[in-house]
Structure 1
Amino acid sequence: MRLLYPCDPFNKKDPDETYAEEFLAAQTAGMACSLYSAEDFESGDFKPRPLFASEEEVLYRGWMLNPNGYGQLLDAIECNGARAVTSVAQYCLCHYLPEWYSLCKDFTPETIFVEKGADYAAAVANLHWPAFFVKDYVKSLTTNRGSVANSVGEVAEVVSLIEKYRGQVEGGVCIRKFEHLAPDTEERYFVFRGKPYARNGVVPEIVQSIAPRIDSPFFSVDVVLSADGTPRLIELGDGQVSDRKQWPVERFLEIFRG
C-alpha cells in the first residue's frame, strides 16, 4: 500500500508543512509514499511523485474533499494504474453525518437533518430539547461562538456563521440534541480494515461495537464522556482526512502495519 500526501505549493519535492512530519516518518519506516500537487490537481493535472506501481493500493492522506472532489481524485489514481483503498461511497459514509447516523444511533446524540434555509422552528417544534448543537454534514462552528444554540432563533445564527467562516454549508444542516459532556475527555480512535486502534492501546467497548457496523477500510471515531461518565460517539470521519490529534506519529503509522 502506498500513502499519497500533498506537496508544498512552492516546492513540489517536499511535503506540505501540515503533513511533513507524518510523510518523513512514513518514509523512514520504509513505507511507500508519493506526493502530488493539490493546486495542479485542481487545474486538471495530476502527477504523483514517485509514480504508482500497476494495481498498487493507494491511501490518501490530505485535505478534506467534498464527494465530487474525492471522486475526481479516485479517477486520477485509477488513470495512473493504481486503485484507491477507499471508494467514494465509503468516503461519504464516514464523511457525512447523515450517512452513518442510523448505523450508530444508539451511541450518539439524537439528530435531525434539514436543508439550509429550512423552517428550523418547525423542524424542532416537537422535540423539547434543552438546547441544540448545530453543524453542517461535516463540521461544526469552531469560532469562540461555538455551535450550541440555546433557542430556536440561535439555530439560524449558527448556520449563518458556518456559511460565513467556512464559505458554505456542506450537504445540509444537522441539529443535534445538546448533551452535557465532561470537559477534556474527547479521544480519537482509528479503525483500519476492521480492526480498531487506540493511541494508548486500550480500545473501549463503544469503539469495538462501532467498528463492525461501518463498511469502510479506514475511519476515525471520536468518543467523549458524558457528564455521568457514559461514553458517547461524537463523530465519525474518513481516516484519510482525519487529523492524528494527540496520536504520536510513530504510533499512528503502526496502524498500517497491523
Structure 2
Amino acid sequence: MAATLFLFCADPLHPLRTDPHVADEAGAARAAGAGTALIDHDALLAGDAGAAVARVERGAGAAWYRGWMIPAGRYAELAEALAGRGTTLLTGPEAYRRAHELPGWYGTFAAVTPRSAWLPAAPGDPPAEAELAAAAAPLGGGPGIVKDYVKSRKHEWHEACYTPDLSDTGRLAAVTRRMVELQDGFLTGGVVIRSFEEYPGPGEARMWWVDGVPVLTTAHPDHPGVRPAPALCAAGPRLAPLVAELGCRFVTTDLALRSDGVPRVVEVGDGQVSDLPRGAAGTAGGERLFRALVRAAGTRSAPS
C-alpha cells in the first residue's frame, strides 16, 4: 500500500467503482503517487461506519478523504472506524468541524467576511421569531441571508435565503422556516444569519490551502467557466495568517470582490469535501494540488 491513501466515495450503483463525481480525482491521486480506496458514503450516513470502511485495507496508514460532504458527527464515526483498521485521517474530527461549519471558522475570519450570527436548531424545528430577532439585532438592519451552518438554499433565493431587511423579523422568520423546511433532515447545526454584501465582480475564486500554503486557485465550481479576478487570485498573503490561525491542514476559502473592490471571504470549507470545478483534476493545477497533499501526508501527524 502506498504511504499516502486517498479515500473516495464508491459509486452507489457500482460499489467497486469510484463515484463518477470524483473519478478524475482518483486518477490524479494515483498519478501523484498515492494509493486509493473506496468507502460507502450511504452506509456512513446511515450510521454504519464499519460497513462504510469495510473495503479499506487494514494498516493503510495516513489518509485524506475526498468526496461528498459528511456531517461532523458521522465524520467522527468514520475516523474511529478507520482507526480500528489502522488508518488515520490526516484531518481529525475536531479540525473537520472547525473548517466545515461556520461557527468553527467565523471568529478567525470575522474581519474579512460578512457579519454573522447563529442559533442551534434541529431539523424541522426553526428558532422562534423572538430568538431570531435577538440574534439578528447586533447585525443591524439592511439585507441579509439565512443558511444552515454549512449550506444555503441560494437556488430558492427569495423564498428560503434572502431577506431585504433583517429588522423585519416577520419576514426573517418566514425565510428561516422555509429554509429549515427545505433542508429537512439535511439541516446542519442550526441557523446562520449573515449580513448581505454585493459582489458584482466576475465570479468567486476558490483558494486551496495545504498546511497554510495556497497551492491552487480555481473558479468556483458553480461557475467553472468564469475566470476569477486577479485581485482574488492575489489575496493569499493577506489570508495566510488567518488560515494558519484556524489550524486546519487542508481547507478552502471562497473569495469574491465586494462592490468597493475589496476581496472578501464568502465561505471557508474543509478541503476534503470542497468541490473542484469540473475537469480541473486533470489539469496542471489539479496535479499540483494532489502532489501537495501527498507531500503533506508525511510531514507531521494529524491534528485534533
- Give the TM-score normalised by the residue count of structure 1: 0.90
Alpha-carbon distance, 1:100 to partner: 1.2
Paired position in structure 1 for 2:290 = 256
Q: Which has the higher helix share?
A: 2
> Which consecutive unaligned segments of at least 5 residues does structure 1 have?
none
Alpha-carbon distance, 1:79 to partner: 1.0
Alpha-carbon distance, 1:195 to partner: 1.3
Work out whether 1:140 is the aligned partner of 2:174.
no
Alpha-carbon distance, 1:40 to partner: 3.7
CA distance in 1, matches of 2:14, 2:84: 24
Matched-pair contact (CA < 8 Å) for 2:32–2:290: no
After TM superposition, list the pairs within 5 Å mapping 1:72-91 onto structure 2.
72-91=77-96
Alpha-carbon distance, 1:240 to partner: 0.7
Map Cα deviations across residues 22-70 of structure 1 (whole Å, 9 max, x no partner): 113323443211112223443441345451545x111111121111100
Matched-pair contact (CA < 8 Å) for 1:188–1:245: no
Work out whether 1:149 is the aligned partner of 2:163.
yes
- Aligned to 1:245, the other structure's residue is in SS state coil
- Measured at CA, do residues 238 and 65 of structure 1 come closer, stay the same or move farther in structure 2, by a change above 3 Å? same
- Aligned to 1:45, the other structure's residue is in SS state helix
- Measured at CA, do residues 109 and 2 of structure 1 come closer, stay the same or move farther in structure 2, by a change above 3 Å? same
Match of 1:187 among 205, 208, 214: 205
- Measured at CA, do residues 117 and 40 of structure 1 come closer, stay the same or move farther in structure 2, by a change above 3 Å? closer
Alpha-carbon distance, 1:3 to partner: 0.5
CA distance in 2, matches of 1:126, 1:110: 9
CA distance in 1, matches of 2:254, 2:202: 13
Work out whether 1:65 is the aligned partner of 2:70.
yes
Map Cα deviations across residues 211-254 of structure 1 (whole Å, 9 max, x no partner): 21211111110111000110001110111111113671132342
Matched-pair contact (CA < 8 Å) for 1:206–1:231: no
- Give the TM-score normalised by the residue count of structure 2: 0.77
Letter in 2 for 1:72: E
How many positions carry a matched residue from both structures? 257
Map Cα deviations across residues 72-127 of structure 1 (whole Å, 9 max, x no partner): 10011111111110111100111111111111111111112224413223333464
CA distance in 2, matches of 1:164, 1:156: 12
Identity of aligned residues (%): 29
Match of 2:101 among 96, 101, 126: 96
Work out whether 1:231 is the aligned partner of 2:263.
yes
Matched-pair contact (CA < 8 Å) for 1:92–1:99: yes
CA distance in 2, matches of 1:215, 1:32: 26
Please identify, of 227-236 and 183-192, the stretch whose mean Cα deviation from structure 2 is larger: 183-192
- Measured at CA, do residues 104 and 246 of structure 1 come closer, stay the same or move farther in structure 2, by a change above 3 Å? farther
Work out whether 1:22 is the aligned partner of 2:56.
no
CA distance in 1, matches of 2:21, 2:278: 15
CA distance in 1, matches of 2:240, 2:80: 33
Work out whether 1:175 is the aligned partner of 2:193.
yes
Please identify, of 11-20 and 242-251, the stretch whose mean Cα deviation from structure 2 is larger: 242-251
CA distance in 2, matches of 1:4, 1:139: 23
Work out whether 1:131 is the aligned partner of 2:121.
no
- Aligned to 1:117, the other structure's residue is in SS state coil
- Measured at CA, do residues 231 and 209 of structure 1 come closer, stay the same or move farther in structure 2, by a change above 3 Å? farther
